[in-house]
Amino acid sequence: MSTKVDQLCRDLMQSLGLCERRDVTSVRPLAGGVASDIAAVTFKGRTVCAKFALAKLNVAEEWFAPVHRGRAEYAWLKAAAAVDPSCVPALLGWSDTENGFAMEFIAGAGIFLWKETLLQAAPFEGEAVAVANVLGRLHSASTAGYFDRAPFDNAADFDQLRLDPYLRFTAGRHPVLAAPMQAMAEALLQSRIALIHGDVSPKNILLRDGQPIFLDAECATMGDPAFDVAFCLNHLLLKSYHMPAHAARLRSEAAAFWGEYAARVTWEPATRIEARVAALLPMLMLARIDGKSPVEYLDEATRGRVREAAVPLIATPAPDLASFMNQLT
C-alpha cells in the first residue's frame, strides 16, 4: 500500500469521525479491484474497509474514469440497503474531502466470493437464484415513482466506464459487427428504466450463509436493467467455456438465474427485457475477450470458441434466452 493511500485512509477515518489519524494501527491493501484503491483499516481493535476510486484503471489498455464515481457507488449501496440491508456492507460514511468512503469489512467463517466457488466447481447451493432474487427486487424498487433518481444522473460516467470500453471498443476490433454494437451502446446510453449496478460479476458478490452481498457499484446509474442481467449471465456462460466438464451445470444455473429474475420483473413484460438481454449477451461475451477488460482465465483456444459462438448471435440475435442457449456451441 502506497504512503499516499495510507495517508488517505487515516484522513478518511478522521474525516468521518471514526477515529483520530494517530489511532490507525494498520492499513492493509485488499486485492481484486482494478478500478479502486481498497484497504482494510484497523484502529482501536476494529477493522473497516476504505475505498477510493482510481483515475486510471489497472488494465492493459489505456482506460481513464472520473474519480467522482464513488458518490454514485455510495448512493447505490444506500438505495440497496433500503430494500434489503443484508445485501450490501453496512455503510460508515462518505467524505467529499477525501473522495472516498468507509464501510463494513466483511470476512470470516461462512464468507465466500462467488467467483471462487464457481471456478472451483463447488456444488451449487442456489447462489444464482439468490443473486437473481435480490437483483430483481432492487431493480423493481427503483422503478417506483417515489424513487430518488437524482444521485444517478451520471449517464456520461456509465458511458465511459461500460459502453465505450466494452461495446464501442470491441466494435472497433470487429468492423462487421460495428452497426449493431454501436446501436446497442446508444440504446443503453439513453435508457433510464431502473437503477442498475453496472458490474454484477461473481467477483463482486460475496456469499454469507448462502446470501449475496453486492460490492463495487462504481458503475451505478439509471439505465436498462437488461445490462445487469446480461452482465451476470455472461460470467456464468464464459465459465462454462472455461470448464467444459461443468458446462451443462453452469448453463443450467444461468437458466435458473433468469427464471428467478423474470418472476421479479414488475415494470414491463418479462419477454421484453428478455429479448434485450438475448441481444446484448453475445456482445458482452465478445467484449470480455476483445474489449478493454478481458477475463483472465480463458486461454486463446477457448477465446476462439467464444468468438465463434458470439459473432453469429450478434449479427442475428436470438429472440429469447432459450433460443440463445440452444445456439451456443
In this structure, whether the domain defined by 3-104 belongs to CATH 3.30.200.20 is answered with: yes
Q: Report how far residue 86's alpha carbon sits from residue 177's, in angstroms, rounded to the nearest whole number.
A: 41
Q: Where in the chain is the domain with CATH 3.30.200.20?
A: 3-104
Q: Report how far residue 26's alpha carbon sits from residue 219's, in angstroms, rounded to the nearest whole number.
A: 29
Q: Where in the chain is the domain with CATH 3.90.1200.10?
A: 111-327
- 177-217 pLDDT tens trace: 999 999 999 999 999 999 999 999 999 999 998 899 999 99
Q: Fold for 111-327, please state it.
A: Aminoglycoside 3'-phosphotransferase; Chain: A, domain 2 (3.90.1200)
Q: Report how far residue 129's alpha carbon sits from residue 273's, in angstroms, rounded to the nearest whole number.
A: 18
- 13-68 pLDDT tens trace: 999 999 999 999 999 988 756 667 899 999 999 999 999 887 655 544 555 556 67
CB 80 within 8 A of CB 212: no
User: Once rounded to an integer, what is the mean pLDDT over residues 209-229?
Assistant: 96
Entry pTM = 0.94
Q: Where does residue 243 rank: exposed (0-12), middle (13-18), buried (19+ CB within 10 A)?
A: middle
Query: Percentage of residues in the chain with pLDDT exceeding 90?
Result: 83
